[in-house]
A = this chain, B = another copy of it.
Amino acid sequence: MKTDDDTSVKPSRRNFLAVAGALAGAAGAGAGMMTAKAQVAPSLPTPAQANEEPFYGAYQGGITTPMQESLYFASFDLAATKRSDVIALLRDWTHAASRLTSGLPAEPGIQDLSAPPLDSGEVAGMDPQRLTLTFGFGPDFFSLNGQDRYGIAGKRPPALVDLPHFNGDELVDGQSGGAICIQGCANDAQVAFHAVRQLARISYGAATLKWVQSGFSPANKIQGTPRNLMGFKDGTMNPNSATVGPVVWAGDEGPAWMVNGSYMVARRIRIALEHWDRMKVTFQEQTFGRSKISGAPLGQAAEFDKPDFGATDADGNSVIPDNAHIRLAAPVNNGGATILRRSYSYNNGANFVAERWPPWRQGIEYDSGLFFQCYQRDPRSGFVKLFDKMSKIDALNQFTTHVSSAIFACPPGIAQGEYIGQQLFET
């Protein structure tokens, strides 16, 4: 973390516990203090500020930002009952997020060693590792059980639909939805976890964790498209930096406060890796509609070759099967519907299962798969449209189970001095 020189930002109103201050403490400053008395310690030295993603700007980070290696995603319920408390929370979160993404401790100033730390400290000495913190507002934010808690129910964007029940959904109790989400991404797992943990801590009394998920991606260690745990390249059809803008950023078709925002759909998709690993390579390729190694659409030579969905083989069967994943997902087969996929693999350990179908077995099975996240300008013409059909006939469904589901309206970026979601409350 660098020296605290962040004097331009008003100290957090939640700094009631201490002399508004950063986690800091000179060598041995706390030495031998058996009684708690306030001590003031100098700040940390300033490392070079490498690996910093911008926090302020027209758009929130973590959406079109090139993927980092680690994800820590958290969905919160709100305990706050007053509009002013929610605004205070968003101010505090914005302030802390702007600091954390710069490699600073969550809260500014000088540490009072007789108070709890203002930052838990496990990334002291590290650069920001390209940390981004992306905030989204779920349906429960606007109204909960029909109650307009914060006077914003009328501002819920039409595009922030309640996701329907999709065919095959097996959502785990308590692991979906939420009022506000924070997507933390960084090139280091400890940095991502640390950042969201600080935000959860300073929200005490106003927000409570509902569900969380960590993830990983080799995206920035590899040339080209990274692979998912099924061994296939994942994201070939994503828009590129030149085309992504109109796909993800909301315009004036919705409420003014969401212009330059985006809509996130998150789905935790458990994958039966043990079954998948026993399928023939040709069957795996027909399931995806792509060659496993090259990523080329079946019938083509290279990953980015255009799929020929009309091609048939000598028997008259489709070269890219009718239920192949890429046929169902391709914009050309969905009236141009396009989304930006930004997914991480996840690994939640392993659980005991007893299976009553081939290959019959009982034992430990991975609780692993894909934490699918996508961004789009309007989920009604994006994820919902695409997945309604896919959930019914995609060949991949034999191996996947959607166990978590959520949708969030991610407001636009902000300028220094503003807070995330300010336009929602103040225009």
Interface residues of A (CB under 8 A from B): 23-34, 36, 39, 41, 44, 69-70, 72, 111-117, 119-126, 129, 174, 188-191, 193, 197, 201, 208-214, 216-218, 221-224, 227-232, 273-274, 276-286, 291-294, 296-303, 311, 313, 315, 317, 319, 321, 345, 347-350, 352, 363-364, 366, 368
Contact = CB atoms under 8 A, between A and B. Distances in A.
A301 B34 contact: no
B293 A231 contact: no
Contact of A113 (B212, B281, B345): B281
B188 A122 contact: no
B32 A293 contact: no
A153 to B, nearest CB: 25
A202 to B, nearest CB: 10
A313 B280 contact: no
A126 B23 contact: no
Given A122-B228, A126-B222, 11 more contacts: A28-B296, A28-B298, A32-B311, A36-B280, A36-B283, A69-B188, A117-B231, A121-B292, A188-B216, A197-B273, A197-B277
A124 B227 contact: yes
Contacts of A124: 227, 231, 293
Contacts of A188: 69, 216, 218, 221
Contacts of A216: 70, 188-190
Given A31-B291, A189-B347, A302-B27, A120 B277 contact: yes
Nearest to A214: B347
A117 B30 contact: no
A279 B118 CA distance: 11
A293 B33 contact: no
A213 to B, nearest CB: 7
Contacts of A230: 120, 122
A280 B116 contact: yes
Contacts of A232: 121
A294 B231 contact: no
Contact of A281 (B44, B114, B190, B278): B114
B209 A116 contact: no
Contacts of A350: 209, 211-212
Contacts of A294: 25-29
Given A31-B296, A228-B122, A296-B28, A281 B117 contact: yes
B31 A352 contact: no
12 contacts: A23-B292, A72-B347, A115-B281, A121-B231, A122-B227, A190-B217, A190-B229, A193-B345, A193-B347, A197-B273, A208-B364, A211-B350
A111 to B, nearest CB: 7
6 residue pairs, one from A and one from B, having the closest CB atoms:
A121-B231, A27-B294, A189-B216, A209-B364, A32-B319, A25-B293
A196 B349 CA distance: 12
B293 A121 contact: yes
A424 to B, nearest CB: 26
Nearest to A118: B281
Contacts of A114: 280-282
A201 B277 contact: yes
